[in-house]
Structure 1
Amino acid sequence: MDLPARATASAAKVRRGRRRARYTVLALVHVAVLAHVLHWKLGGRTLSPLEPSEARDTLVNGAVNAGFVLLAVALAATAIVGRFFCGWGCHVVLYQDLAADFLARIGLRVRAVRSRFLMAVPFLVALDLFVVPAAVAWVRRGSAPEVHAGFLTDELWATFPGLGIALLTLFVDGFLVVWMLGSKGFCTNGCPYGALLATAGRRAPGGVVVSDACRGCAACTEHCSSNVRVHEEVARFGRVVDPGCMRTLDCVAVCPTGALSFRFGGTKGRERPPLLREREFDFGIGEELLLASVSILAFFGYRGLYHLVPLLLAVGLAILSGASAVVLARLVRRRDVAIQGRVLRSEGRLTVSGRVAALALGLFLLLGAESLATQAATRLGARAIERAELATSREEREILLDTAERHLIRAERLGLAPNPELELRLGTVDLARGRYDEAKARMRRAIELAPAMKSPHLGLAEAALASGDLDLAEKALDDLLRLDPANLRGRWRAAQLAIFRGDLESAEPILEAVLRDDPHHAGARADLERLREVRRGPAR
């Protein structure tokens, strides 16, 4: 549906002033982030990350941290005033708005793409990020975690990617997704925090309301960067009800009659908004199925790839993969195809832009397929190792180790970059087969590629213990327990190291502590019983 009118130049000027104010606030958010990092660098210890994803650690391990408090406060505030946190406090929103502004300056005014499947993606990601890990941990533990304070940390950057991957994430989620799916495309189609906040703010009493001064000019909708049909909603309901509204208040700033304002309370005599809103979508059911299947496969292919790709980057690449598949399918089946105003095919013939797009999108999908094949082979190898550890016969164990090694070597050949997880898995196979030098070499390479990854330190310690290199085992265990002081297997191996060195007095309390934390730890129980028997001496 076309808008009934264009915004005036004066309205646009007012909007730019409001946007500068919001950009200033978002710039101050970045200054605060830099100050946080600087405090950590100078002092070595600081407040835990103010990042909503850190709430997962609270749900899984019970550590109440700054990220959990931030998310809780944001949800509570959103339930009252709506999604101000998204519009005025999220750095990714800033990057998306800057990307939309840049594209507009070069003559490309991006339009929001609406998809049934993509609407559900943020909620699925939120389940994967928060609900599933917490549920698995609670079931394994048999109860909820013990709540404790976790507001300070020595490793501020431990859960964040390196600079290169961080910049790539911002480019993908903050620019490419906007270019293909429209303004705030990642907020709408990928952000798990946005899903939680949109749900919390669905019935917020504070919102944008309209007065009788409204003339229906649609300047508000013209300048809304949240893709809300403001003029239609206020005419029908007396207020903005779309949960996608991020309270940037651009609509309030540009209204030429001052009819819009932010206020609390309802509007009398207007239609009550439905729980499920009517929407117009850009894809048919067949395209939705293609979009969903390719996006899901791409997500599993990209997530954790080479131990580098974080969750939000994987989400961005996944939804771009799905959208790319739909565009390529249209290029094959339709005579006329355009994306964000750029004509790719006209009257059955590819334009220059169409040829470039077909090549670029095809190569991008091939990259996704290669990533998926690499990840699948790695996971099949890891699964075979797990089954080998539970094998009841030597023959079965050797067959499973052969299978694991075959899958892992295939993944190594398919990979386009060094992979610490592959080095770890192949080192585990070497260790299981008594190839201790090869195992130590693999574990060392994994540590070089991912120093904060815990399992290679443990694997190196176990290979060193098995080969009698006690000094190397001690160093590897020291590094592991520095990263994860509560690591049960690492503490058990540290006790075994003390036993090998004849220090039974040090080993006993370590084993007792391991058994307090895990009364069913068979290895620690057996070692403790033997140790006490040795200390008692032969029966008289």
Structure 2
Amino acid sequence: MGSEDDGHSSSEGSPAARAVEEIESGMTSSDKPACSPPDERPALGPSFYDPEPVHRGTPRVSRVGKRRALVLVGIHVLVFLHLVHWQLRGETLSPLEPSEAMYTTARGVVNAGAILLGASLVSVLIFGRFFCGWACHLVALQDGCAWLLKKLGRRPRPLRSRALSWVPLAAGLYMFGFPLYVRWAEDFGWPDFGLHLTKKSFWETFPGFWLGFATFAFCGGVMVWFLGAKGFCTYACPYGGLFRVMDKLAPLRIRVTDACKGCGHCSAVCTSNVRVKDEVARFGMVVDSGCMKCLDCVSVCPENALHLGFGKPAVGARPRSKRRWRLPYSWGEELFLVTLFGAVLAICAGLPREYYPWATALYGRMPLLFSLGLASGTAFLGLYLWRFYRSPMLTLQTLVLRQEGRATRSGRVFLAVAVIWFGLVLHSAWIQAETWVANRAFERLPVGELAFAPDREARLTGENRSDIAAAKEHYAVVRRWGLVGDLRVPTRLGSLALLEGDAERAARLMREAIAVDPEFAYSHGDLAKILASQGRFAEAKASIEEALRLKPEEPEFREVAKQILVRRAEQLAQSGDFPAAIEVLEELKNLTGPNPMLDAMLRQLRGQ
């Protein structure tokens, strides 16, 4: 065994050393100069590492891993019990999801998610990112995927981008700070804050089962293999972006003693892509805000040199030596990543609706978190596709894509996947362009004012008719060629049919919208109004009752229900069916409460 003075020669061939090399370099074979010596990095002098022999070989199994797994399983059990309570009671604590805090800054709704986010930020400010490592369900999913890949002999290497590492912070500021900026810019003042800790419509702000499943599969699975462990946390998580800032000020950090010999076991087992060995050598502690305090590095250290302790925070820490790794991407490649990321994010999530209400999300349903993950993954895929045509040697994770200037079998599969993927991206861009043009035309129309007006034909201007034709044309393209049903398309085509005086077609289109999403209450409410305008009060009554079942607190539905029930009762009374008319008015009384006029009508009908 060599001494520490001979650089890294003593670690060649060691599994731990190879893992550390992969983690700390973050480079593929194509990134390294063809004629460079094996290791140009200067070895640290004996002033830091103990000169005694270093423990090489495979790192031992972390004793903390099973404990953390049990804690994360317990978190999921609590989530399940939360859902069971909602199913049994019909009302429960609002979702403990940090994204719910958006409604706090936008509308003043202080819910359980906002309280959780606030408490988490305070905890990170003191203790670091324990919340991420020990309580986040998506971290559990990513770590589970990384564990399975490790069992299959695959250890994804992190792809390290300087520019895209700022995405989580930008996303966090947009989610929670942009609504406050809009209120300030538009002079709306502060929202009226109030507690709303319980909820009946639990899934109201969630994307639905299949879209949620796709989010977890891509962000918790695909991104791990492609971008490395915790790829979503690194390049997409908006909460993690805020936590990174707070973590810089946290006094509780992983620190090192003089017992460290630089074996690199800590870096080899870190699931947060932290260069632990290098950081403790340069700073005496881990300063990387990506550290989620999983404590695996502390557990596996053969010298017990790492510990969790209070002391100086990371902000302002000065390194003892220079950085020991090359940056994997040039600034031109970083610019390419940012540009492609921004384009794909706009395609998926749309533009800020406060200023561009027509530039909506893809198919009207793509959530921001999924969009951030898709944009990050697509940006890296595009970069490696570019490198595929420029580099004679190229690897991606464990796959050799090009060798000696020729594409390998893995390279041809990669190329096919990339072409299909970017074909879908371009198709989505086309659908979005058609949708946005249609939306702009539709929003110029006085739909609410004229849809049920008896003189709408006379009040429609030539510009209105041009907008109707344009909206119909572009929505028809989306309806025919879209890969996923878009609830807005049949809904808005139905509104256009009303403007043209075709209530029958409007009703058919609204039923089509209900088929796309049967749980969307407003489609049932709109259908009820259309049917009522045709005098089909029995069908209208059934539709508005379904709308009230789905969203009982909506005041508009209650007003529409009152009008429909009165008209239905009049219709039954005129046909001589007085018992049925009395029954309908009793329903109306239950909806409105005590009403002298209703009591008089009931007495009159009972006297018939």
Q: TM tier, shorter chain?
A: 0.7 to 0.9
The one-letter code matched in structure 2 to 1:324 is L
Relative to structure 1, the CA distance from residue 486 to residue 163 in structure 2 (aligned partners, 3 Å threshold; closer, same or farther) is closer
Aligned residue number for residue 43 of structure 1: 89
Task: Assess if the C-alpha contact under 8 Å between 1:50 and 1:70 holds in 2.
Answer: yes
- Deviations along 1:278-321, one digit per CA (max 9) or x if unpaired, are 98543223332332233222223334433453322222222111
Percent identity over paired residues: 38
**Partner of residue 223 from structure 2, selected from 174, 177, 182:** 177
The structural deviation recorded for 1:490 is 5.0
Structure 2 CA distance for aligned equivalents of residues 402 and 499 of structure 1: 37
Please list the CA deviations of residues 37-77 of structure 1 after superposition, one character each: whole Å capped at 9, or x if unmatched: 11111222211111111111222222221111111111110
1:413 aligns with 2:459: no
- Tell me if the contact between 1:97 and 1:183 (Cα under 8 Å) persists in the aligned partners: yes
Q: Distance in 1 between matches of 2:397 and 2:8?
A: 16
Q: Helix, strand or coil for the counterpart of 1:263?
A: strand
User: Contact 2:156 / 2:224 at 8 angstroms: preserved in 1?
Assistant: yes
| 2:232 maps to 1:186 | yes
- Name the residue aligned to 1:13: 60
Q: What secondary structure does 2:74 align onto?
A: helix
Counterparts of 2:339 and 2:162, CA distance in 1 = 13
**Deviation for aligned residue 1:10:** 8.6
1:14-93 mapped onto 2 (5 Å cutoff): 14-15=61-62, 17-93=63-139
1:479, CA displacement in angstroms? 4.2
Cα deviation digits, residues 457-496 of structure 1 (max 9, x gap): 3432442344333444444444445555665765665676
Return the alpha-carbon distance in structure 2 between the equivalents of residues 79 and 338 of structure 1.
39
Q: Does 1:360 align with 2:406?
A: no
Partner of 1:514: none
Counterpart residue type for residue 81 of structure 1: F
* 1:489–1:141 distance in 2 versus 1, CA, 3 Å: farther
Question: In structure 2, what is the equivalent of residue 404 of structure 1?
Answer: 471
- Is the CA contact 1:428–1:459 (under 8 Å) kept in the aligned structure 2? no
Aligned with 2:208 (options 138, 159, 162): 162
Q: Please point out which of 446, 450, 462 is paired with 1:395.
A: 462
User: For the structure 1 residues 20 and 500, does the alpha-carbon distance in structure 2 shift closer, same or farther, using more than 3 Å as the test?
Assistant: same
Whole-angstrom distance in 2 between the partners of 1:382 and 1:126: 28
Residue number in structure 2 paired with 1:328:
385
Secondary structure class of the residue paired with 2:59: helix
**1:383-417 deviations in whole A, cap 9, x for unaligned?**
11111229996100000111111111111222113
Distance verdict in 2 for CA 1:144–1:484, change over 3 Å: farther
Of 205, 215, 239, 2:261 maps to 215
Distance 1:131-1:434 versus aligned 2 partners, 3 A rule: farther
Contact 1:382 1:425 in 2 (8 A): no
Q: Please state whether the residue corresponding to 2:485 is helix, strand or coil.
A: coil
Match of 1:258 in 2: 304
Q: Which residue is 2:271 aligned to?
A: 225
Secondary structure, aligned partner of 1:116 = coil
1:246 aligns with 2:246: no
Q: Does 1:234 pair with 2:280? A: yes
Q: Do the aligned partners of 2:392 and 2:403 also contact (CA within 8 Å) in 1?
A: yes
Specify the structure having the higher radius of gyration (Cα). Answer: 2
Q: Distance in 1 between matches of 2:325 and 2:211?
A: 36
Give the structure 1 partner of residue 583 of structure 2.
Answer: none
SS of 1:12 mapped into structure 2: coil
The offset of 1:250, in angstroms, is 1.0
Give matches, 1:495-534, under 5 Å: none
Residue type of the alignment partner of 1:53: S
Give the Cα separation in 1 of the matches to 2:374 and 2:392.
28
Question: Secondary structure in 1 aligned to 2:402?
Answer: strand
**Shift, 1:136, TM fit:** 4.0
Distance of 2:375 and 2:313 partners within structure 1:
41
User: What one-letter code is carried by the residue in structure 2 that aligns with 1:238?
Assistant: G
**Residues 1:101 and 2:147 aligned together:** yes
With the length of structure 2 as denominator, give the TM-score of the two structures.
Answer: 0.76
Q: In structure 1, what is the Cα distance between the partners aligned to 2:432 and 2:68?
A: 41
475, 489, 503: which one aligns with 1:422: 489
1:337 is aligned to 394
Q: Give the structure with the higher percent helix.
A: 1
Q: Distance in 2 between matches of 1:252 and 1:394?
A: 73
Task: Report the Cα distance in structure 2 between the residues aligned to 1:278 and 1:78, rounded to whole angstroms.
Answer: 29
Partner of 1:433: 500
CA separation of 1:365/1:232 partners in 2, compared to 1, >3 Å: closer, same or farther? Answer: same
Alignment partners' CA distance in 1, 2:103 and 2:329: 38
Matches within 5 A, 1:74-153: 74-136=120-182, 142-153=188-199
Cα distance change, pair 130–423 in 1 and its aligned pair in 2 (3 A): farther
Report the Cα distance in structure 2 between the residues aligned to 1:68 and 1:332, rounded to whole angstroms. Answer: 47
Unaligned runs of 5+ in 1: 511-540
Report the AA paired with residue 165 of structure 1.
Answer: L
Aligned partner letter, 1:195 = G
**Cα offset for 1:171?**
1.4
Q: Specify the SS of the correspondent of 1:13.
A: coil
Evaluate the alpha carbon distance shift between residue 397 and residue 267 of structure 1 in structure 2; reply closer, same or farther with a 3 A threshold.
closer
Residues 11 and 253, structure 1, Cα contact 8 Å, conserved in 2:
no
| Mapped partners of 1:159, 1:81: distance in 2 | 31
Q: Indicate which of 507, 521, 531 corresponds to 1:464.
A: 531
Q: Residue 298 of structure 1 contacts residue 369 of structure 1 at CA under 8 Å; is this kept in 2?
A: no
Distance of aligned partners of 1:494 and 1:386 in 2 relative to their CA distance in 1, 3 Å threshold: farther
Query: Which stretch shifts more, 251-260 or 422-431?
Result: 422-431
Contact residue 236 and residue 271 of structure 1 kept, 8 A: no
Partner of 1:293: 339
Q: What is the distance in 1 between the residues matched to 2:57 and 2:88?
A: 48
Q: 2:246 aligns with which of 184, 194, 200?
A: 200
Q: Please list the CA deviations of residues 162-196 of structure 1 after superposition, one character each: whole Å capped at 9, or x if unmatched.
A: 33332221110011111111111110001111111
Aligned partners of 1:393 and 1:162: how far apart in 2? 38
C-alpha distance in 1, partners of 2:543/2:324?
59
CA RMSD of aligned residues (A): 3.3
Q: Is the CA contact (8 Å cut-off) linking 1:111 and 1:183 kept in structure 2?
A: yes
Tell me the CA shift for residue 499 of structure 1: 8.4
Could you say if the C-alpha distance between residues 120 and 159 of structure 1 is closer, same or farther in structure 2, counting changes exceeding 3 Å? same
Contact preservation (8 Å) 2:59, 2:268 = no
- Over 3 Å counting, the alpha-carbon distance change for 1:495 and 1:38 in structure 2 is closer
C-alpha distance 369-488 of structure 1, shift in aligned 2 (>3 A)? farther
- Greater CA drift, 230-239 or 129-138: 129-138
1:25 partner letter: V
State yes or no: 1:306 paired with 2:363: yes
- Distance across 1 between alignment mates of 2:9 and 2:537: 75
Task: Give matches, 1:365-376, under 5 Å.
Answer: 365-376=422-433
Which deviates further from its counterpart, 291-300 or 345-354?
291-300
CA–CA distance in structure 1, aligned partners of residues 386 and 180 of structure 2: 39
Q: CA offset at residue 212 of structure 1?
A: 1.8
